[in-house]
């Protein structure tokens, strides 16, 4: 097991945002965590990346306990996070953005090769290499942060809502790229997603998170009809309440 989040609890002040949740990711797997707003999805990723420290439970990465480590130490251990809202460095140019995570790498010789591969993967970034990242469109910024995370040469990449604020065709493109990376490079992915439809399409396994607790977990193949996922997601029987369609 590459990443093992074991029964962690995370508090914001006195408020528990996560109440004893467990998530595991095997090497080469794509795992999605889905759930409504405020379910604790982002909190889960921040607890893995060392920004938040669990008050209880353990986070084990490649056999090493990483709960309580600093974000930079977690990044150096091989977990690269693409947080919600993209977070490009707007005043740095595209190349500086891409290269900033390579400083911690020890395999100096591989960096240039990886850099070229990322530019091949995202030709638009190659064209705009010298431009400030703040000038890129939303879709281009999403490509940039994924490319930037790739250049840290991670063992696992965690992505928080890659589809947030993007047009549907761009979201398709982002997922295409992610699946391609897994296929060609065996990249392990932990994706947080609000749309369970997307998650069912992309993931090998799925967790449904609501109110800081895991409501359902299983292989995507077993959950394809979507009914159990929807139920876990909303916490009520289909067709029982609420008029109209809920978009998810």
Work out how close the CB of 83 gets to other proteins at its nearest, in angstroms, rounded to a whole number: 7
Dihedral over alpha carbons 123, 129, 131, 133 (to 10 degrees): 70
> CB-wise, 40 or 83, nearer to other proteins?
83
Q: Are 48 and 123 in contact, with CB atoms under 8 Å apart?
A: no
Contact flag: residue 55 with other proteins (CB under 8 A): no
**Cα gap 151→114, rounded to integer Å:** 6
Residues 130-159 that bind other proteins (CB under 8 A): 134, 148-149, 152
CA dihedral over 5, 100, 199, 16, signed as positive or negative: positive
Draw the binding track, 34-53, toward other proteins (x: CB under 8 A; -: no contact). Answer: ---------------x-x--
CB of 172 to other proteins, least distance (A): 26
Q: Nearer to other proteins by C-beta: 7 or 91?
A: 91
Collapse the DSSP code of 26 into the 3-class scheme (helix H, G, I; strand E, B; otherwise coil) and give the result: coil
DSSP count for the chain of H helices, then E strands: 9, 10
Q: Is 70 in the site for other proteins (CB under 8 A)?
A: yes
- Compare residues 51 and 126 and give the one whose CB is closer to other proteins: 51
Whole-number Å distance between alpha carbons of 35 and 195: 8
Interface with other proteins (CB under 8 A): 49, 51, 70-72, 74-76, 80-81, 83, 87, 89-92, 96, 100-101, 103-104, 134, 148-149, 152
């Amino acid at each position: 097991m590459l990443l093992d989040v074991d029964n962690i609890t995370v508090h914001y002040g006195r408020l528990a945002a996560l109440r004893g949740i467990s998530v595991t990711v095997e090497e080469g797997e794509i795992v999605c965590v889905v759930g409504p707003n405020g379910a604790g999805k982002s909190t889960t990723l921040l607890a893995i990346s060392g920004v938040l420290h669990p008050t209880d439970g353990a986070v084990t990465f490649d056999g090493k306990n990483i709960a309580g480590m600093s974000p930079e130490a977690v990044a150096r251990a091989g977990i690269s996070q693409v947080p919600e809202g993209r977070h490009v460095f707007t005043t740095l140019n595209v190349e500086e953005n891409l290269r900033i995570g390579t400083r911690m790498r020890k395999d100096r010789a591989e960096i240039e090769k990886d850099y070229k591969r990322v530019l091949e993967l995202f030709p638009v970034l190659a064209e705009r290499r010298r431009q400030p990242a703040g000038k890129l469109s939303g879709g281009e910024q999403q490509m940039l942060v994924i490319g930037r995370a790739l250049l840290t040469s991670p063992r696992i990449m965690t992505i928080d809502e890659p589809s947030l604020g993007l047009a549907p065709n761009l979201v398709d493109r982002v997922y295409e790229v992610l699946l391609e990376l897994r296929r060609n490079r065996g990249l392990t992915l932990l994706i947080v997603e609000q749309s369970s439809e997307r998650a069912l399409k992309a993931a090998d396994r799925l967790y449904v998170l609501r109110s800081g607790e895991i409501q359902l977990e299983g292989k995507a193949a077993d959950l394809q009809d979507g009914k159990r996922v929807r139920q876990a997601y909303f916490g009520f029987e289909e067709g029982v309440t609420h008029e109209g369609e809920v978009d998810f």
